[in-house]
């Protein structure tokens, strides 16, 4: 995952944890035995922290990283030092920017200050809670489904769908919201992959 000058990823060592001598792999259980969080920052690659348990990297943005540690989301500096921690026992997806930490749970989107962990707002998502958080900035959050994109206005919680042509929706590959606007990619039927950009001003005008 990446944002600005920072790219980060998990490096996991997976091994058998139970029923390892049953004679058949179908009965054995596997899990993470060792984890290294690595990052590439300002032209240099290094490992940030090593642990025996799996603490998945969930988001990168604004020069920081967000990882899941048990029932919490920890926001880290590139050095690995913890900036803030937020209780999130029902976390489904996370987005991070310089000014916002978005945590989508089973029913609501929590918007936090990434520097302090203070909850700024909770926005009910209704049926859109099944979608994945795919970016956040100071004005909007993006929710992504297999064939849909939904925008959430942070000021009042209003939600709208991004209009996608049927051929685009069916072949949607990925989407990301940044402070500049919305980027999404899809595979055109005959012309290969396409990348579309909509500036923030155009997104706000849709509401």
Q: In the prediction, which pLDDT does 13 show? A: 85
Find the DSSP H helices in 22-128. none
Q: In the prediction, which pLDDT does 23 show? A: 58
Rounded to a whole number of angstroms, the CA Rg of the chain reads 19
Q: What is the distance between the terminal CA atoms of the chain, rounded to a whole angstrom? A: 30
Instruction: Give phi and psi for 187, each to the nearest 5.
Output: -100, 115
Distance CA 138, CA 127 (A): 24
Please, are residues 168 and 182 in contact by the beta-carbon 8 Å criterion?
no
Please, are residues 133 and 165 in contact by the beta-carbon 8 Å criterion?
no
pLDDT tens sequence for the chain (207 residues): 998 889 999 998 888 877 777 656 667 877 777 889 999 998 899 998 888 878 899 999 999 999 999 899 999 999 999 999 999 999 999 999 999 999 999 999 999 999 999 999 999 999 999 999 999 999 999 999 999 999 999 999 999 999 999 999 999 999 999 999 999 999 988 778 999 999 999 999 999
Query: How many distinct structural domains can be found in the chain?
Result: 1
Could you say which DSSP state residue 128 is in?
Answer: G
CATH of the domain at 146: 2.120.10.30
Whether the model pTM is above 0.75 = yes
Per DSSP bridges, beta strands 29-41 and 149-153 are unpaired
CA angle 149, 2, 107 (to 5 degrees): 40
With the CA atoms of 83, 69, 44 and 174 taken in that order, what torsion angle do they form, in degrees rounded to the nearest 10? -100
What domain range is 187 assigned to? Answer: 2-205
């Amino acid at each position: 995952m990446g944002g600005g000058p920072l790219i980060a990823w998990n490096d996991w060592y997976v091994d058998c944890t139970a029923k390892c001598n049953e004679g058949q792999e179908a009965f054995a259980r596997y899990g993470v035995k060792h984890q290294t969080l690595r990052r590439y920052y300002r032209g240099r690659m290094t490992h940030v922290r090593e642990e025996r348990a799996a603490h998945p990297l969930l988001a990168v943005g604004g020069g920081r990283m967000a990882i899941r540690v048990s029932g919490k989301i920890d926001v880290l500096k590139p050095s690995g030092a913890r900036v803030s921690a937020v209780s999130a026992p029902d976390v489904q997806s996370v987005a991070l920017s310089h000014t916002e930490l978005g945590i989508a749970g089973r029913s609501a989107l929590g918007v936090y200050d990434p520097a302090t962990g203070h909850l700024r707002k909770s926005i009910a998502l209704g049926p859109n809670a099944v979608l994945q958080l795919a970016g956040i900035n100071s004005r909007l959050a993006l929710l992504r489904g297999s064939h849909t994109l939904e925008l959430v206005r942070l000021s009042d919680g209003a939600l709208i769908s991004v209009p996608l042509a049927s051929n685009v929706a069916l072949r949607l590959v990925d989407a990301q919201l940044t402070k500049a606007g919305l980027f999404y990619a899809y595979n055109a039927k005959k012309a290969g992959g396409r990348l579309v950009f909509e500036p923030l001003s155009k997104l706000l005008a849709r509401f």
